[in-house]
Amino acid sequence: MKRSSLLSLLDSYIPTEGLETEMYLETKQFINDNPECFERTLQIGHITASGWVVSPNRDKVLLMHHRKLDRWFQPGGHADGDPDVLHVAEKEVEEETGASNLKLAKDGIFDVDVHLIPANSKDPAHYHYDIRFVFEGNPMDELIINIESKDVQWIAVENIHLYNNSESLMRMVGKTALI
């Protein structure tokens, strides 16, 4: 998958109205304008991929407490040159949570988000253009906590707002009932 493949994948996705549509269009423009969009070294921003992992009956979601950002999020990470964003999302979920035997719960993209990552000692502030997929996982799988997380938990969908009530996560909560 190259930039053109990601653009085709985006072309087959219909974002929700409002903010997600704006971020979707911004992401397509970013990809068109930046041939190196999959590289972390692109300091203005880069493509990332993440997985919204739901339980088989869709009543729980797997979240991780991100160590650097000190907030709960879905697992995901940098493409680091890999243009196959579905592969990146699945790999990141497995590495960050230990969840295995994931099944794609819905073909294609589940959500698109653009968010600012604050500056830190190593990197200037920059944007993540996050391509999100929804997977089904098994809440009985043994989970791991790696260096990037403080905790990993299956959280009841109706309680996610107690962990992170951002527009981004709440948008995916709303979509969960539709899969």
At 30, is the secondary structure helix, strand, or coil?
A: helix
Quick one: pLDDT at residue 68? 83
Quick one: pLDDT at residue 71? 94
Ordered domains of the chain (ranges, CATH): 3-176 (3.90.79.10)
Quick one: pLDDT at residue 126? 96
Which segments in the chain show pLDDT lower than 70?
Answer: 1
Q: How far apart are CA 18 and CA 21, in angstroms?
A: 5
DSSP bridge pairs for 136:
54, 103
What's the pTM value of the predicted model, to 2 decimals? 0.95
Q: How far apart are CA 6 and CA 48, in angstroms?
A: 12
Q: How far apart are CA 44 and CA 105, in angstroms?
A: 32
Quick one: pLDDT at residue 69? 84
Joined tokens for residue 34: 């930046």
Joined tokens for residue 71: 């907030």
Quick one: pLDDT at residue 148? 87
Q: How far apart are CA 16 and CA 83, in angstroms?
A: 24
